[in-house]
Amino acid sequence: MTTAIQIPGYVVGTWDIDASHSTVGFSVRHMMVSKVRGYFTKFSGEVVTAENPEQSTVTAAIDMDSIDTRQEQRDAHIRSADFFDVGNHTEMTFRSTEVRTDGADWTVIGDLTIKGITKPVELALEVNGFGPDAYGGTRAGFSARTEISRKEFGVDIDMPMDGGGVVVGDKISIELEIEAVLRTA
């Protein structure tokens, strides 16, 4: 027997990601002793919340040129062929293939494409809520996180350090804070 999934205030519909109230961020181990954080400032996407939440979908596109790690020289290097090769690969994309729940825990599974290489990823999802905004519209909020290997996506530069270790780690932690606006037309 299937039990209905209950999400307080859940609204069925198509939502546009509000980039001005959302964050696409990441962190990576640097010099083996700390983490560097960065963000992408230009991105867009759509969330479709279905009657059955497990049939919902997500698509997103991130402008790779919009990387910001608070250090312009590093950002320029990350845009180069050594890392993202933004001259040839302008976007990172995500398209969900499955949404599943285990009680209060949600997972969005989908295809992430970086530098023309597509790999499946799983995002741990938190449904933050649904509600009215100050302009007569409706908003939804989601948090998600995952970890990927940059080398699996062709971002495979190695910069060894004297004495062992590397300047930039392989594992990238991705954190998303998404606010979306319900489409009215």
- Strand pairing class (91-102; 34-40): unpaired
**Which pLDDT belongs to residue 1?**
37
pLDDT, tens digit, 9 for 90 and up, residues 37-54: 999 999 999 999 999 999
What is residue 19's predicted lDDT score, i.e. its pLDDT? 97
| pLDDT value at residue 166 | 47
Give the predicted TM-score (pTM) of the model: 0.90
Dist CA 104 CA 63 (whole Å): 32
Q: Say how far apart CA 75 and CA 66 lie, in whole Å.
A: 9
Alpha carbons within 13 A on the beta-carbon side of 147: 6
Phi and psi of 115, rounded to 5°?
Answer: 55, 35
Q: What share of the chain is helix, strand, coil (3-state, %, to 5)?
A: 10, 55, 35
Overall residue count recorded for the chain in this entry: 185
Q: What is the pLDDT of residue 32?
A: 59
Closest among 10, 120, 93, 113 to 55, alpha carbons compared = 10
Structural domains of the chain, with CATH: 13-182 (2.40.128.110)
Q: Which amino acid is at 129?
A: G
Give strand pairing partners of 130: 140
pLDDT of res. 85 = 95
Q: What is the mean pLDDT of the chain?
A: 90
- How do the pLDDT tens digits run along the chain, 185 residues long? 344 567 888 999 999 999 999 999 998 876 556 688 999 999 999 999 999 999 999 999 999 999 999 999 989 999 999 889 999 999 999 999 999 998 778 999 999 999 999 999 999 999 999 999 999 999 999 999 999 998 899 877 666 555 655 456 788 999 999 999 999 86
